[in-house]
């Protein structure tokens, strides 16, 4: 293998630039030419492919987002779109791809390999930590810390005004960010999609806290919780209880941006080296993961068939510590 490409796809996450840097410099170290594909699969179709050097990725390890940009691409789901993308890779002499993203990115990579023989290795880049086959994804640690810092600031205001705050964090199908940031931020209650919390239980928990002398409280809500958004939960609580003067804060896309933590930078760097060396070794159709602090290669299918759920025992830990 003489030439490889690297791209980011799907939602951005802190640490993607560190991953790009690692891929480019590892390729150069091993004597390979490396090309960057702009704007994900759409850029692959459109031929937005440019050579990269060690200097191209200088000074980006600390930056959030992705210098290669990212996009979702409906055209790649069609055979015609994939044919155009494969033709562009062939035109540039690219034999292998490192693709940084999530399950949708991997599905595209599987099709690219099956239909056109392009060797593909994936790297898990998403703040939700919801990809099977790896204990951590690039960007999760940063997003968790961003949410925790927001909770810390909101607690200052909540304590000053003796108020209850409902704080919504990202997690449409996965409660990792809510659970970990809520536990770290000392939340009184944490609502996640993986666990059922009734409205009555939530209100009773808040009443217990008030009876114990709590004048202010924080309830962290994952956006995908079955009770609804933070606004909906606050409204439902007000309708059936005395807790009517509450405030809602939605952290939103703040969790996606910002400088990656040391953990995410190191994780992305290690995964980038592993991904390139996997291509050189002839591997394909696999993603890089981390298990027990070691880099591992897993089939793309693991990203959707292997469960990666937060430990629900942490919810009980949070409740014990909220007395």
Q: Which residues are catalytic?
A: 128
The tokens describing 79, both together, are 């055979």
- Residue among 87, 84, 113 at smallest CA distance from 98: 113
Neighbouring C-beta atoms of residue 102, cutoff 10 Å: 23
The answer to whether 218 touches 186, Cβ cutoff 8 Å, is yes
Q: What is the enclosing helix (H) or strand (E) of 279?
A: helix 262-280
The answer to whether 75 touches 45, Cβ cutoff 8 Å, is yes
Alpha helix stretches (DSSP H) within 13-139: 16-29, 40-46, 79-91, 103-116
The answer to whether 129 touches 173, Cβ cutoff 8 Å, is no
Give dist(CA 143, CA 170) in Å, integer.
9
- Residue among 97, 116, 122 at smallest CA distance from 43: 97
**Three-class SS of residue 73?**
coil
Sheet strands (E) in the chain: 3-8, 33-37, 49-52, 96-101, 119-124, 164-169, 189-191, 217-222, 246-250, 286-291, 294-299
Give dist(CA 167, CA 233) in Å, integer.
10
Question: What sign does the CA torsion over 88, 66, 276, 82 have?
Answer: negative
């Amino acid at each position: 293998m003489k030439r490889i490409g690297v791209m980011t796809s799907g939602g951005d996450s802190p640490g993607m630039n560190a991953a790009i840097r690692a891929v480019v410099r590892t390729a150069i170290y091993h004597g390979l030419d490396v090309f960057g594909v702009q704007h994900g699969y759409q850029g692959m179709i459109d031929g937005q492919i440019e050579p990269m050097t060690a200097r191209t990725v200088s000074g980006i390890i600390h930056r959030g987002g992705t210098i290669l940009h990212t996009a979702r691409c409906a055209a790649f789901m069609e055979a015609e779109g994939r044919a155009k993308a494969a033709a562009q890779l062939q035109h540039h002499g690219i034999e292998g791809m490192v693709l940084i993203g999530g399950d949708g990115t991997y599905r595209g990579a599987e099709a690219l390999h099956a239909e056109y023989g392009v060797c593909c290795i994936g790297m898990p880049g998403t703040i939700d930590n919801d990809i099977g086959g790896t204990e951590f994804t690039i960007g999760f640690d940063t997003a968790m810390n961003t949410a925790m810092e927001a909770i810390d600031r909101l607690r200052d205001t909540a304590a000053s005004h003796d108020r209850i705050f409902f704080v919504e964090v990202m997690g449409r199908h996965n409660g990792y960010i809510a659970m970990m940031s809520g536990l770290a931020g000392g939340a009184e209650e944490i609502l996640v999609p993986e666990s059922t919390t009734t409205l009555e239980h939530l209100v009773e928990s808040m009443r217990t806290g008030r009876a114990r002398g709590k004048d202010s409280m924080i309830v962290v809500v994952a956006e995908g919780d079955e009770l609804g958004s933070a606004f909906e939960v606050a409204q439902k609580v007000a309708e059936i209880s005395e807790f009517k003067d509450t405030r809602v804060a939605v952290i939103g896309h703040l969790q996606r941006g910002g400088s990656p933590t040391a953990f995410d930078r190191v994780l992305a760097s290690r995964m980038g080296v592993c991904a390139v060396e996997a291509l050189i070794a002839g591997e394909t159709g696999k993603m890089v993961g981390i298990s027990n602090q070691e880099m591992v290669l897993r089939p793309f299918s693991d990203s959707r068939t292997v469960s990666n759920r937060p430990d629900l025992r942490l919810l009980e830990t949070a409740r014990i510590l909220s007395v």
